[in-house]
Amino acid sequence: MTEKQLKSVMDSITMPEAMAQELRKNVSGKKQKNRTFRYPKIAAAVIAGALILSVGTTSYAVYQAKNLRVFFEADVTEEQLQKAGEAFRAIEGVSEVEYVPGEQAWADFQAEYFADDPELAQEFDENPLKDSFNYKLTVELSANTKEVREAIENVEGVRMVSDLSELK
C-alpha cells in the first residue's frame, strides 16, 4: 500500500491520532529483512526427494531376490544331497545355496510356532522334521524363474520346490 492510498483510507475512517501515526510509521517505515530461509518449498522438495531415493533404493534392494526351499525324498543319500547342492550352485540365476539339516528345520519350526509355549516342543520324543532337510536357495529376480525351477526339479532326489510365501 502506498502512502497516498494509506492517507486516503485514514481520511475515510475515524481513528485516534496516535493510532493513525502508528499506522503511518508501520506502513511507510523500512521493512526489516526476513532472515528465514527464502525457499522453504524447494528445501522440502529436496529433502522429500532424498528420502524417496533412500527408501526406494532400500526397498528395491529387498526385492532383488526370490527365496525358494527345495525338499527331498526321505530316502535320499548324503551323496545325493551333496551333488544336489553342487547342481544348485551351477544353475544360472541362483545366487545363494544354503543347506538346512533336519535338526535346524526343527529348531526353526520350534522358534516360530512354539515361541509362546516352548514346553509343547518337549512333548515330542524325537525330531518330527528329521526328514525335512532342505536347501534354501536365493534366486535373482532377473533370472527366468520358470527355467530355474525346472532345473531345480530335475535334480535327482528333489521332491518339492516351494516359494517361501507358499509355505506359510
Q: Retrieve residue 76's grid coordinates.
A: 535320499
- The residue ranking higher by pLDDT, 14 or 82, is 82
SS3 assignment, position 6:
helix
The helix (run of H) or strand (run of E) holding residue 149 is helix 145-153
**Total domains in the fold of the chain:** 1
Assigned domain for 162 exists: yes
What percent of the chain lies above the pLDDT cut of 70? Answer: 60
Assigned domain for 107 exists: no
- Tens digit of pLDDT for each residue in 1-39? 566 766 666 566 665 676 666 666 666 655 555 555 565
pLDDT reported for residue 13: 65
Q: Are 64 and 140 in contact (CB under 8 A)?
A: yes
Q: Retrieve residue 36's grid coordinates.
A: 528465514
- For the domain that residue 151 is a member of, what is the CATH number? 3.30.70.100
Residue 87's domain comprises: 65-99+131-167
Assigned domain for 137 exists: yes
Dmax (CA) of the chain: 105
Assigned domain for 39 exists: no
**What type of residue sits at position 5?**
Q
Assigned domain for 76 exists: yes
- The residue ranking higher by pLDDT, 26 or 140, is 140
SS3 assignment, position 33:
coil
Assigned domain for 47 exists: no
- Tens digit of pLDDT for each residue in 30-70? 555 555 556 566 655 666 666 566 555 444 444 557 899 99
pLDDT reported for residue 68: 93
- Using CB atoms within 10 Å of the CB of residue 53, give its burial: 0 to 12 exposed, 13 to 18 middle, 19+ buried: exposed
What percent of the chain lies above the pLDDT cut of 90? Answer: 36
- The residue ranking higher by pLDDT, 32 or 77, is 77
Extract long-range pairs of 52-56: CB within 8 Å, 24+ residues apart: none
Lateral strand order in the sheet of 94-100: 94-100, 134-140, 65-72, 158-163
CA separation for the pair 15, 1 (Å, rounded): 18
pLDDT reported for residue 153: 95
Model confidence, pTM? 0.57
Provide φ and ψ at 137, rounded to 5°: -115, 145
Assigned domain for 84 exists: yes
User: Between 3-12 and 17-28, two packed helices, what is the crossing angle to 10 degrees?
Assistant: 160
pLDDT reported for residue 4: 72
Assigned domain for 37 exists: no
